[in-house]
Amino acid sequence: MYNLKKRILVSGGAGFIGSHLCERLLKDGHEVICMDNFFTGDKSNIVHLLQNPYFELVRHDVTEPFLAEVDEIYNLACPASPVHYQYNPIKTIKTSVMGAINMLGLAKRVNARILQASTSEVYGDPQVHPQRESYWGNVNPVGIRSCYDEGKRCAETLFMDYHRQHHIAIKIVRIFNTYGPRMHPQDGRVVSNFIMQALQNKDITIYGEGNQTRSFQYVDDLVEGMIRMMATETSFIGPLNIGNPNEFTILQLAEQVILQTGSQSKIKFLPLPQDDPQQRKPDIEFAKKNLGWNPTVQLEEGLSKTIAYFKTCL
């Protein structure tokens, strides 16, 4: 059944992760509708797919209802970088919450399977390490990251309630820091910032002392995990962590980027933003067991592919 050609909607499909997902779904022989309002996404991310007759691009805002006859929906529409999601926080929370309602309503109407791109941010500044799916998190509901964190938490609640109340076939994945080609060079995230700064021999901006940690996942591993999750049996819904458990301090990341770019950049320490999580690392036992999945691209290899991409953005 799963190998049949499907009609698949990807909201946020012109963004960094969405564009890789659209590409992979087409490669797997499916028909793809990419829906995006181009807030942080860009046509250049999917321009190479436009000649494919099985690819359709729709400019649409997920906060408005959307109708299409589809078999599966991947709901990715939402700005993901702190700089972008804090630019218009009210719009960010509307995108997560109203977007989830609209996409779930569509799934209900056309009886589609739907996967939510949730986030490790639902764990907030975690007091349990590494983070397992059973952990409820430590989230500030009134801080500058809340529009994103609480929006994504509310979206998870909506997914669960549509599942319990209307028996919608849902899947929830919690994505940990993901990087790779087609990240927006100015989106302010740490991997894109450090590589762009290093390539231009500008100061590398570390917020705080650089001892906070993150675990970086290459985008191809994430896409593989999302596709495997969508294909699991209906009763398996998650939430499920998808990330690479190799943990680095931000200072280690800066040093690695300088090494791999051969840059003359110096490190500059700037103030730590409010509510910046001190540590983050996924427990991926649940994904290994249920998806037979494991990340395969480690930081050095992933960074070299990403550096090659950012060289084309200069």
Using CB under 6 A as the binding rule, whether residue 125 contacts ligand NAD is answered as no
Does 139 interact with ligand UDP (rule: CB under 6 A)?
no
Supply the DSSP string of 240-261, one letter for each residue: EEES---EEEHHHHHHHHHHHH
Minimum CB separation from ligand UDP for residue 103, in Å? 23
> Cβ(142)–Cβ(304) under 8 Å?
no
In the complex, least distance from residue 155 CB atom to ligand NAD, rounded to whole angstroms? 9
Residues between 261 and 280 with contacts to ligand UDP, criterion CB under 6 A: 273, 276
d(CA 114, CA 130): 27
Residue 273 contacts which entry, ligand NAD, ligand UDP, none (Cβ below 5-8 A, type-dependent): ligand UDP
Binding part of the chain for ligand NAD, among 1-9, 61-69, 228-236, 265-273 by CB under 6 A, reads 61-69
CA distance 187 to 94: 20
Contact indicator for 213, 280 with CB cutoff of 8 Å: yes
151 alpha-carbon distance from chain centroid: 14
Report the DSSP beta bridge partners of residue 10.
Answer: 34, 74
Tell me which of ligand NAD, ligand UDP, none is bound by residue 79, counting a contact when its beta carbon lies within the kind-specific cut-off of 5 to 8 angstroms.
Answer: ligand NAD
Pick the binder of ligand UDP from 52, 88, 140, 205 (CB under 6 A).
205
Whether the Cβ atoms of residue 113 and residue 71 lie closer than 8 Å to each other: yes
Tell me how far, at minimum, the Cβ of 46 lies from ligand NAD, in Å.
9
Provide φ and ψ at 7, rounded to 5°. -100, 120
Size of the residue set binding ligand UDP (CB under 6 A): 14
What are the structure tokens assigned to 52, written together? 């494919």
114 three-class SS: strand
The contact set with ligand UDP (CB under 6 A) reads 81-82, 177, 189-190, 193, 205-207, 212, 214, 250, 273, 276
The contact set with ligand NAD (CB under 6 A) reads 11-12, 14-18, 36-41, 61-63, 76-80, 95, 117, 119, 175, 177-178
